[in-house]
Amino acid sequence: MLDDIKVIKFFIRINNVPCHSFDDLQKNFYVQDVISLHRQGVLARWLRVVGHKDKADALPAATEMGDDIALGQKLVEVLCPGFDKNNLRAALDALGFETLAAERAALAAQGQKNWSAFATAYHGKFEDLLRQAAQRRSDFEFLCQVAICLVDNYWNLVEENVEKFIQRLFVEVPCLFFPLIAMGKFRKQEYENSVRAILAEHIKKVFYIKTDSNESWYEHICTKVDYDIIYSIDVTESSDPFLHHWKRTGAPMQYISKQIPSTIEGEGEKIIGEMTTNIYFHQIKKQIDSWDDVVQDKSKKIMLIYADSLAHMRPVRSRDDYTDNDINSQFPVFCGLDYKSTNNNPLVVYIDLPKCVSERASESHMDETECNN
């Protein structure tokens, strides 16, 4: 009698898309949603309804794995083994930062009862975050997540000793400046001139050396800034206290980054690895004497970080005209990109900002509604 009862089919929603079949699940696979459905007990029930009892039986018990990162890797292994490794790495990194935020909230709740323990743990997590950034300094998407975590959770701590923080970034992880600048840091503060000037000279030197080479220019941008670049910046002491401090005290402090466990451990690390390929940093090397919409989508935010002397750039469908002086000193954020250059050897470099930073990026020249219209 029970065998005659018709199974009631239902759909699940993954990444805000209704999924009626296992194929739908794989096409729209979103790790955070799949974890949530599994912990609710919905995922296994749905898999049986759509005829994949074997997959449902292969899932780990919802209470077996308290760690979302390990659970996410296991769910991908069972349900979507062909899932893009870079996307999985980014998703698991995001879960790691969510866990960090939750731990910080729990610490804050205990702070009044045990302030000393709270302060020690808070500073320790800040230090671990910077160490992980240094270890993965070529992984730009990870650095964007680090930047967001710093701004949201640790910026008061950064400002308490901003000189040493800036020195450390120049030595260990200069690319972390890009998402911070995109989100408005080091634009309107007292150190804005020297930070962007030193970073611009670092980038300029990379392309001066690498102009005719196919060697990884992105990896060179990720390396520490040379001390001779720092001393070459002409900023008055009265207008820039950070540079005055650097010249007065000599070369910046050397930091030893002890090895710490990755966010992704064990066998999963072999699956995910670390993304060091240049997928966010782009070069334009074409000579064209009329405007060309290089990045047509005006909802896409980009940060310009280098331009040759004859290049002209503007946001899509804008009459504003930016030249190398504007780009190399300001690192502006555009909505889309129009470009032209009569240079025989043109070169413009921009960053396609990941969504997590793009949503929070703004620039003084930009109409706040421009990207949304």
Per-residue pLDDT tens digits for 308-336: 889 999 998 788 899 998 888 789 999 99
For the cut 50, the answer to whether the pLDDT of residue 249 exceeds it is yes
Across 106-119, average pLDDT: 64
- For 108, list phi and psi in degrees, rounded to 5: -60, -40
Angle at 268 (CA atoms; ends 267, 272), nearest 5 degrees: 130
pLDDT recorded at residue 273 = 42
For the cut 80, the answer to whether the pLDDT of residue 144 exceeds it is yes
pLDDT recorded at residue 178 = 95
pLDDT recorded at residue 191 = 74
Three-state secondary-structure class, residue 31: helix
* Segment of 7-11, 37-41, 177-181, 259-263 carrying the highest mean pLDDT: 177-181
pLDDT recorded at residue 316 = 86
- Determine the straight-line distance between the first and last CA of the chain, rounded to whole angstroms: 59
pLDDT band at 183 (very low <50, low <70, confident <90, very high): very high
pLDDT recorded at residue 281 = 92
For the cut 60, the answer to whether the pLDDT of residue 272 exceeds it is no
Average pLDDT of the residues of the chain: 77
Three-state secondary-structure class, residue 365: coil
Contact of 133 with 145, CB cutoff 8 Å: no
Across 19-27, average pLDDT: 88
- This model's pTM is above 0.85: no
Output the CA torsion sign for 352, 354, 358, 364.
Answer: negative
Residues 6 or more apart from 158 whose CB is under 8 A from it?
150, 165
Residue type, 17: V
The helix or strand, by DSSP H or E, that contains position 364, with its residue range, turns out to be: none
Across 14-22, average pLDDT: 86
pLDDT recorded at residue 303 = 94
pLDDT recorded at residue 259 = 36
Spatial CA neighbour of 285 closest among 341, 327, 323: 341
pLDDT tens string 42-95: 888 899 888 888 888 888 876 666 677 778 888 888 888 877 766 777 777 777
By CB neighbour count within 10 A (0-12 exposed, 13-18 middle, 19+ buried), where does 107 fall? middle
> When comparing pLDDT for 119 and 261, which is higher?
119
Q: Please state, in angstroms and rounded to a whole number, the distance separating the CA atoms of residues 177 and 158.
A: 13
Contact of 178 with 146, CB cutoff 8 Å: no
Measured in whole angstroms, how far is the alpha carbon of residue 330 from the centre of its chain? 20
> When comparing pLDDT for 58 and 4, which is higher?
58
What percentage of the chain carries pLDDT values higher than 90?
18
Buried b (16+ CB within 10 A) or exposed e, 314-351: bbbebeeebebebbbebbbbbbbbbbbbeeeebbbbbb
pLDDT band at 247 (very low <50, low <70, confident <90, very high): low
